[in-house]
Chain A
Amino acid sequence: MATLERTTPGVETERKEVAPASLWRITLRRLIKRRSAVAGMVILGFLVLVAIFAPLIAPYSPTQVLIGVEDVKRRSAPCIHLLGCPEDQPQHIMGIDGNVRDQFSRVIYGTRFSLFVGFTTVGVGIVIGVTLGAIAGYFGGRSDNLIMRVLDVLLAFPSLLLAIAIVAVIGPGLQNALLAIAIVSIPAYARVMRASVLSVKESEYVAASRALGSSSFQVLRDSVLPNAITPLIVLATLGIATAILDAAALSFLGLGAQPPTPEWGTMLGTERNQVFTSPHLVFFPGLAIMITVLGFNLLGDGLRDALDPRLDHGSAKSKS
């Protein structure tokens, strides 16, 4: 801070050099100022810990059938000692599922699947989408037309229905469901990437880079991608939320993860007809999905606000 008071020319240049490198730090600082983003990060941090330490947290294995192990009945309601459940009964804080397994352990292990689903689908979608968008935007002409028309057709279907159709073709299962959701998410990333490419394609620094002999790939990687990274990060964070919801929906319909996988959507789907008699079997997995999706949504919103230069709320000071 003290250096700022001095106005020697040397300090001026020093500050200018530092500025681009600290863009991420500025973003992080802005992010931390946003309550929703902090809430999102706390939720996600918590979930990552739960996923990593699942074996330590879960009292049982997620697939262990408790018949003969404990005196519990199928689909019995939660029993929590602190809330007055008799001490002589085994504690199951989320109750017992239809196959006499500990629901709490299954929900805990489910965290792993949900986070895995979110990151892998968006990862695959982003890689393919960015590549297609870059090709379409950079080379233009016929390849642009072809790629964008095909993606327009993909966009003409409601995403979940398209994912259902794709899974119907390649067969049900968690991996195929992930692939279907990734495919469905491609157009969004491709469009953002293409728009970014178009916005900088004619700029002088791209021309300069080309004049220096950079290959198309180098130009795209070094000059274009950094411009697209901001909207892509926001889109990806929010995309993870959608991917988790869609994957849960496919599993709910019986097209995603298959039993006995402790996947939240599958757990909900297999017990959905018991909702009137054992609501706890539907309530907890759904709540878990909601919290996870909420975490990504909050973080995504926070990121968007923090990275959007037009929304310069608290950052006016750091700019001057």
Chain B
Amino acid sequence: MLQYGARRLLSAIPVLIGILVVVFFLSRSIPGDPCKAMLGEKASAETCERFAVANGLDKPLPAQFVVFVGKILQGDLGESIRFSRPVVLILAERLPTTIELALAALVIAVVVGIPLGIISALRHNSATDVATMVGANIGVSMPVFWLGLMLAYLFAIVFKDTALALPPSGRITPGLSATPFYEVYGLGVTEGTPWFLILEFFANLYIFNSIITANWEVLLDVSRHMILPAVALATIPLAIIARMTRSSLLDVLGREYVKAARAKGLRERLVVLRHAMRNAFLPIVTIIGLSLGLLLNGAVLTETVFGLAGVGRILFEAITARDFPIIQAFTLVIAINYVLLNLVVDLSYSRLDPRVRLESKD
């Protein structure tokens, strides 16, 4: 298991190097002058020259690449051209928004999708089954941004002034603020240190922060803001997970060992949960892993629709503004995340399926 994990990790290294190259050269091939984009069209040649020197843009591309990789290895992601702030700080602020959103969506998709799939499989060809599968087909066919806008309209306008009303944008009601937990508990930290960045990162996970500071008012408010974007984002993965659970379980339910378990007189619950589900789980885990990519895709759109300042949104804005350091750092973080998540999914196979474990022994 450990050996297998190490080998998979090693095989990810060429991909990671490739990602570095692609990220750097792609971001540098974006047409347009960052100076003009930042300082305005009327910026003089001299100003632009000073700007280029200050941001290291005057050196030849390969030299810039070497500097770029060297700095990354030191954990220095540079400074945003647009915000004139360290990129790591912006990451610590924006990344939690997307993580919280993606996790909430994933939880919804799994918690609703798997039971729906199980019920459909157990009542194969019943009205529930047909309805679920029709719903799932419609679910995977919906554009995320459209669903988001429609949900926002429904819950902010149609259900306005009812108990169902939900805020259509933002993470928190203006005026409310989530005091970072490190301030509440008086953890003395100086800004700019790695320790501060880590604390800041966790403090920006608003739900986590409000729970450990026992700030229930903020928790309620933040959760209410989270519902619509999370539901919009969860729809496609939910439909996919429900479908996969159903077909995988149907496949397993016809096997001999399930018949044997039933013949033993085991209760149906036990047969399904212990004998069938355990074997049906592998493809479901695969599909959950694959939906993480979908979640990141959807996050760009969901964040745009719901006005959330997350990774997807800032990356999109940075591309428009030619803010190279941001583009590089954020695509890098996303791609590395993606590679690592796939690795985790692969590794979880070997935990779930002993046959995969055998392979790693050779």
- The judgment on whether A and B are partners is yes
A residues contacting B by CB (< 8 A) are 36, 149-150, 152-153, 156-161, 164-166, 168-169, 171, 241, 245, 248-249, 252-253, 265, 268, 272, 275-276, 279, 282-283, 285-286, 289-291, 293-294, 297-298, 301
Is B143 within 8 A of A249, CB to CB?
A: yes
Residue of B nearest to A268 (CB): B146
Is B140 within 8 A of A297, CB to CB?
A: yes
Which of the residues A149, A253, A276 comes within 8 Å of B153, measured between beta carbons? A276
Residue of A nearest to B319 (CB): A168
Supply 21 A–B pairs (Cβ within 8 Å), ascending by A. A156-B335, A157-B335, A157-B338, A158-B293, A161-B297, A168-B319, A245-B143, A249-B144, A252-B145, A265-B143, A272-B149, A276-B152, A276-B153, A276-B156, A279-B153, A286-B147, A286-B150, A289-B146, A291-B141, A294-B141, A298-B137
* Size class of the contact patch on chain B: 35 or more
Which of the residues B142, B297, B331 comes within 8 Å of A159, measured between beta carbons? B297
Residue of B nearest to A167 (CB): B319
Contact of A275 with B26 at beta-carbon distance under 8 Å, contacts A156-B15, A161-B315 already known: no
Inter-chain CA distance A142–B150, complex, in Å, is 50
Is A297 within 8 A of B149, CB to CB?
A: no
Inter-chain CA distance A150–B14, complex, in Å, is 10
Q: 5 nearest interchain CB pairs? A: A286-B146, A153-B18, A294-B141, A293-B141, A160-B297
Is A164 within 8 A of B138, CB to CB?
A: no
Is B18 within 8 A of A169, CB to CB?
A: no
Is B316 within 8 A of A253, CB to CB?
A: yes
Task: Report B321-335 residues with CB < 8 Å from chain A CB.
Answer: 327, 331, 334-335
Q: Mark B305-318, 1 if CB is under 8 A from A, else 0.
A: 10000001001100
Min Cβ gap A177→B in Å is 14
Min Cβ gap A149→B in Å is 6
Is A156 within 8 A of B19, CB to CB?
A: yes
Q: Does B304 contact A (CB under 8 A)?
A: yes
Min Cβ gap A40→B in Å is 9
Min Cβ gap B287→A in Å is 14
Q: Does B339 contact A (CB under 8 A)?
A: yes
Min Cβ gap B335→A in Å is 5
Is A159 within 8 A of B143, CB to CB?
A: no
Q: Does B22 contact A (CB under 8 A)?
A: yes
Task: Report B260-316 residues with CB < 8 Å from chain A CB.
Answer: 293-294, 296-297, 300-301, 304-305, 312, 315-316
User: Cβ of A164: which chain B residues have Cβ within 8 Å of it?
Assistant: 300, 315-316, 319
Starting from the known contacts A156-B335, A294-B138, A297-B141, 13 additional A-B residue pairs (CB-CB under 8 Å) come to A149-B14, A149-B15, A153-B15, A157-B22, A159-B297, A161-B312, A249-B301, A282-B153, A283-B150, A285-B146, A290-B138, A290-B142, A297-B137
Contact of A165 with B146 at beta-carbon distance under 8 Å, contacts A156-B15, A158-B297 already known: no
Min Cβ gap B289→A in Å is 13
Inter-chain CA distance A153–B16, complex, in Å, is 8
Which of the residues A152, A153, A158, A286 comes within 8 Å of B143, measured between beta carbons? A286
Is B157 within 8 A of A276, CB to CB?
A: yes
Inter-chain CA distance A183–B22, complex, in Å, is 14
Is B30 within 8 A of A294, CB to CB?
A: no
User: Cβ of A241: which chain B residues have Cβ within 8 Å of it?
Assistant: 141
Is A161 within 8 A of B31, CB to CB?
A: no
Q: Looking at A158, A253, A275, which has the most chain B CB atoms within 10 Å of its CB? A: A158
Q: Looking at B14, B26, B143, B152, which has the most chain A CB atoms within 10 Å of its CB? A: B143
Min Cβ gap B147→A in Å is 8
Contact of A249 with B334 at beta-carbon distance under 8 Å, contacts A36-B137, A279-B153 already known: no
Inter-chain CA distance A171–B18, complex, in Å, is 23
Inter-chain CA distance A283–B147, complex, in Å, is 9
